[in-house]
Amino acid sequence: MGTHHAGSRGVVGKVVALASLAALAAAVTKELRLPRERRSWQGTVLGVVPYDLRPPTLAVIRSRFWAPEDPRIFTPRVFGVGWSVNLARLVDLIRPPR
């Protein structure tokens, strides 16, 4: 029987939380450095991690979580920093061919 190290999972969780907080701070800083009229509150941190800090709409929620026409599995997060899962694409990939 294997041993369980609860402390190691706690450390990983803390690292992920810290990285997420740093990415959020970077996104906010990036937007606030722009003139007010040029702020879109959406983009990427370091050209890789997407962020969207605008209030979500139903259309955005749908386009991120259920977009069968989008080939991506991971889409920008509905609100915040990081990625969401395009469930329609995931279902399409695991469904047996007809």
The per-residue pLDDT for range 45-90, each reduced to its tens digit, is: 999 999 999 999 999 999 999 999 999 999 999 999 999 999 999 9
Instruction: Provide DSSP, 69-91.
Output: T---SEEE-SSEESEEE-HHHHH
Question: Buried (b) or exposed (e) across 51-72, using 16+ Cβ within 10 A?
Answer: bbbeeeeeebeebbeeeeeeee
Rounded Cα distance between 33 and 35, Å, is: 7
User: Which residues lie across from 80 on neighbouring strands?
Assistant: 52
Q: What is the pTM of this model?
A: 0.80
Task: Report yes or no: 56 and 78 within 8 Å, Cβ to Cβ.
Answer: yes
Mean pLDDT (whole number) for 36-41: 98
Mean pLDDT (whole number) for 26-45: 98
